[in-house]
Amino acid sequence: MFTDSDGGRPQVRPSTGGDTFVIQFSPDGRYLLSSHAGGRHRVWDLATRAPLAEWAGGDEPVFDVEPGTVVDFAGGLVHRTDVRTGRTRSQPWPYEFGCRMSGLDGRPEFLVTASKAEKVLVDVGTGAVRCTLSGAGERIGRGVLSSDGVWLATYSFSDREEPVRIWSTADGVERLTLPGGDVSEVVFLPGGGRCAVAGDDTTRVFDLGTGKVVARLDGATIALSGDGTRLAVTGGDDLDFGFDEADEDEGSDVVIYSTATWKPVVTLEETGSVGVLAFSPDGTHVATGHDDDSIIRVWDSVTGRLAYELSGVTREVHALAFSADGRRLSTVTDNEVRVWEIGAARPAYRLPAHRGEVHAVAYRPGGPLAVADDETVRFWDAATAAPAGALAVTGSPVLALAYSPDGAMLATAGADGVIHLWAADGTSVGVLSGQGRPAWYAAFHPGGRHLVVADDETVCLWDVTTGALVLPLAEVAGRVDAVAIAPDGHGFAIGSSDEYGSATLSLYRSAGTEPARPYTHTIGALAYSPGGALAVGSDESAVRVHADAGSADWDAAFEGHTGLIRSLAYSPDGRLLAVGCDNGTVHLWDAASRQRLAMLIALDDGGSATVPAGGEPVVDGSPNDEFWR
């Protein structure tokens, strides 16, 4: 799970980007497993409060009863990985669909769909079938066992009409049906006589003997302590035995209730939007995960005080540029620009810090490196890193820049929506006004006469000779997230998302517009290879390459990025693909063989590290547990 086919990929400190949707303590309380946007999973050592392992892909890992071991399912196999050593044992697994849940003594159980008409509860440790649910139908999405293993609750979190069903694991017979709705979680309380059903912004506590609601709590994200005496709930602190409507002013605090009296015993004063909760096995701590980052906060469950945080880095690599000869790669992280020697697999140099954030870099063919920051564009000798001048200040941060194919003209796009045109010697030769919104993307058409500029809503084509707006190429219903121009100039690609987070990849050609197609994950970066293949980087932590850019089918995948993808660049000869992530890491791939060649890492102290596949790291700086074997 933790290594590539080359066996040489190190672990890299995680990023804080992306939401958190799973938190689980190991049965012995020594480790914490968290899952995040993009299919990223990580294990933390709670003694050192440092990440022990991180990987991307697979299904939904859970801790095994075996100490320090994680169970995951992928490719028809069940994998058991010792997170301390990274060693994995695999064996065939015949069930394609299902969900995991904790069984007796912390052992994972597996609720699977053996067929459309049959649901089977399987012990992952032994492979034995615990029971077959009679007449279960097709709509089981999740399941949870009572602590004694006697009862099983199943529900569908995607169907508001589907009820919660209570089954006996002794014979697989349904014993009770409870009202469902938009159910997010179900837990059994001690003794199996009550269960809490969370959904529709409310948690209802049912008496399983009568099927009636005995308490209602404000909030729909819950966690039960190991001894069952306390229930943590997010969303407010209103307790309601009269079944009045819940307060619409839902807070983000976490309230811990006594399951004997249903009175609050302590409140965790959270500042973020909590999406997942978990008690430590001994009940002394509660871990919270959030909808807007991957930071885990661990709280004292008795005092309600924050004990510590498990956090990564926020160091987004948001711009990449290969030199014209493909021998060097420039990377941008915050206000720092690093240049790497590709052949020698080592850092070449780091430019002095710019004023404010650096937004873009570009090499002039045969000339200097241009760097755009919050004030202007500065030039550096590409070989020696010596200062080589700067453009006149325009009064607006420069968000994007592009050289014409012959290097004779430089276009800069600003936060004020104005595009400035410059000669090679820095003389202003034109201004394009009318984009209207901050322009964050600019690229010349291969012919050199036209410039493509994008803001958050539109993509426009400008004539740099006349200064006229030729036409709006595209206007999306939502937000433009990424743009790329085909190398032959006949078309371009746009990644966009709407207000609900639904992503779309749209392809435009000179002969017309290809139908836009939905994309599962938000698109963070796009890049065409010199041969016309389209690389798509998204929040799934993988890059999909479409050899035929007009086809919905992808032909190659570059996987295993433990940060969310923020930038892409092909080398001029198309041999290399660079992938920039939000944890300060750039992955360098062989585009043909899909083998990772190296990882380029920005260090906390401003230094750099290059980690070749299967080789020893080359470090310019002092790593602070930012990567390890």
Residue 454 maps to a domain: yes
**How far, in Å, CA of 586 to CA of 606, rounded?**
15
At residue 254 the predicted structure's pLDDT band, cuts being 50, 70 and 90, is: very high
Beta-bridge partners for 319: 332
Whether 133 shows a pLDDT value over 50: the answer reads: yes
Per-residue pLDDT at 158: 61
- Sign, Cα dihedral of 473, 490, 453, 480: positive
- Region 15-28: mean pLDDT is 85
Max avg pLDDT among 112-121, 256-265, 551-560, 582-591? 256-265
Report percent pLDDT > 90 for the chain. 40
Torsion from C-alpha of 168, 169, 171, 176, nearest 10 degrees: 20
Burial class (CB in 10 A: 0-12, 13-18, 19+), 624: exposed
**pLDDT tops 90 at residue 319:** yes
Q: pLDDT per residue over 327-336, tens digit each? A: 999 999 877 8
Name the DSSP class of 315: B
- Quick: pLDDT tens for 273-293: 898 999 999 999 999 998 878
Residue with tokens 């997170």: 83
Query: Cα–Cα distance between 629 and 32 in angstroms, integer?
Result: 20
pLDDT of residue 7: 40
273, two tokens: 């939007």
Say how far apart CA 203 and CA 188 lie, in whole Å. Answer: 13
Average pLDDT over residues 132-140: 72
Is 335 contained in some domain? no
Residue 513 lies in a domain: yes
pLDDT at 291: 84
**Tokens representing 92?**
């065939």
- Domain assignment present for residue 188? The answer is no
What average pLDDT does this structure show over 499-516? 73
Map residue 192 onto helix, strand or coil: helix
Q: How far is 252 from 556, CA to CA, in rounded Å?
A: 42
At position 438, the amino acid (one-letter code) is P
Instruction: Please report whether residue 200 resides in a domain.
Output: no
How far, rounded to the nearest angstrom, does the alpha carbon of residue 315 sit from its chain's CA centroid? Answer: 14
Q: Is 318:580 a contact under the CB 8 Å cutoff?
A: yes
Structure tokens at 303: 């005092």
Q: What is the dihedral of CA 260, 261, 266, 270, to 10 degrees?
A: 90
Strand, coil or helix: 277: strand
* 253: DSSP letter: -
Distances (CA, A) of 388 to 382, 399, 405, 421: 9, 20, 21, 19
Specify if 582 maps to a domain.
yes
* pLDDT of residue 74 exceeding 90: no
> Which pLDDT value is given to residue 311?
82
Beta carbons within 10 angstroms of residue 314's beta carbon: 15
pLDDT category at 587 given cuts 50, 70, 90 is: very high
List, for residues 387-439, the tens digit of each pLDDT value. 999 998 788 899 999 999 999 999 999 899 999 999 988 999 999 987 778 99
Tokens of 71: 């169970």
Mean pLDDT of 584-589: 91
Q: Which band of pLDDT confidence, cut at 50, 70 and 90, is reported for residue 258?
A: very high
511 — pLDDT class (breaks 50, 70, 90)? very low
Q: Is residue 253 part of a domain?
A: no
Cα–Cα distance, 95 to 127 (Å, whole number): 10
What 3 state SS string does 105-172 have?
HHCEEEEEEEECCEEEEEECCCCCEEEEECCCCCCCCEEEECCCCCEEEEECCCCCCCCEEEEECCCC
- pLDDT given at position 491: 83
Domain hosting residue 432, numbered range: 360-620
pLDDT at residue 117, as a whole number: 63
CB 546 within 8 A of CB 556: no
Per-residue pLDDT band for 37 (boundaries 50, 70, 90) equals confident
* Lowest-pLDDT choice from 46-50, 327-331, 518-522, 533-537: 518-522
More confidently predicted of 629 and 195: 195
Instruction: Please compute Rg for the chain using Cα positions.
Output: 27
Residue 503 has pLDDT above 70, yes or no: yes
Report CA-CA distances (Å) from 574 to 46, 232, 496, 518: 44, 53, 26, 27
Q: Which residue has the higher pLDDT, 564 or 534?
A: 534
Determine the distance from the C-alpha atom of residue 608 to the mean position of all C-alpha atoms in its chain, rounded to a whole number.
Answer: 24
Query: Is 158 domain-assigned?
Result: no
The whole-angstrom separation of Cα 600 and Cα 614 is 14
Report the C-alpha gap between 435 and 416 in whole angstroms.
9
Provide the residue count of the chain.
Answer: 629
d(CA 165, CA 116): 17
What single letter denotes the amino acid at residue 617?
P
Exposure class string for 222-236: b at 16+ Cβ within 10 A, else e: bbbbbebebbbbbbb
Q: Which residues contact residue 254 at a Cβ distance below 8 angstroms, ignoring those fewer than 6 apart?
A: 232, 233, 234, 267, 268, 270, 274, 277, 286, 288, 299
State the amino acid at position 508 in one-letter form.
Y
- In angstroms, the CA 374 to CA 354 distance is 9
Number of domains in the chain: 1
Say what the pLDDT of residue 240 is: 42
Query: Is the pLDDT confidence value at 94 over 50?
Result: yes
Whole-model pTM: value is 0.76
CB 236 within 8 A of CB 244: no
- pLDDT recorded at residue 6: 35
CATH number at 408 reads 2.130.10.10
Q: What is the mean pLDDT of residues 2-8?
A: 41
